[in-house]
Homo-oligomer: A and B are copies of this chain.
């Protein structure tokens, strides 16, 4: 029987690639999308489509009420998503698109499901190279979560599970992720990275996530099929 893994899937390029990789590695994938009140609601729909297309065994959307806390441009319409030019300088420090404690919450919910499923492998598409400087995308955070998972659960304490947080994209550049996605036959045109897309899913082109994505595709020498004009940038 294939080993089960819970894979966090947001509808973006990185998590779709992570899901494809987990399945390629032989895991039976339980795809988990967390609806935390993100304003880019199209993510949830794309996550469902991608999970089905990639062959996840199950896809589930779990709602977690973070939006009502506010404090992030991704959940609070009163906070603007910063825009910049493709070759403009990145913002300084941790940007307002940081969602307080988001990855802690995401991994906690993934852990809860994993324990019920008898899975000990969690996959998350975080990246610490071409990323926005979020604290909860760094190796030290992931290691601390793994340690916590062991102490927090019946399965860990009873020695029946040794939880592992897999972050296979952690040390990759965005260009490497783009190439890997294409190699794994991820429908990259269906992934949505933008922090503030149109309701139809059209990317804004100027938020941090759009700029990182565009640079990745450019560096990989591959046109981004999610863009209207799919020629090279």
Cβ < 8 Å to B, chain A residues 125-157: 135-136, 138, 140-141, 144-145, 147-149, 151-154, 156-157
* Complex Cα spacing A65 to B106, Å: 12
Copies of the chain in the assembly: 2
Which of these, B93, B115, B135, contacts A101 with CB under 8 Å?
B115
Q: Mark A45-73, 1 if CB is under 8 A from B, else 0.
A: 00000000000000010111110111100
User: Does residue A112 face the partner (Cβ distance < 8 Å to B)?
Assistant: yes
Q: Mark A150-166, 1 if CB is under 8 A from B, else 0.
A: 01111011100000000
Chain A contact residues, majority secondary structure? helix
- For A225, list chain B residues within 8 Å (CB): none
Category for how many chain A residues contact B: 35 or more
Tell me if A144 and B147 are in contact (CB < 8 A). yes
- For A65, list chain B residues within 8 Å (CB): 62-64, 109
- For A115, list chain B residues within 8 Å (CB): 71, 100-101
Shortest Cβ-Cβ A-B pairs, 10 listed? A71-B116, A100-B115, A101-B112, A62-B65, A135-B157, A108-B108, A144-B148, A105-B108, A104-B108, A101-B111
Interface residues of A (CB under 8 A from B): 60, 62-66, 68-71, 93-94, 98-105, 107-109, 111-113, 115-116, 135-136, 138, 140-141, 144-145, 147-149, 151-154, 156-158
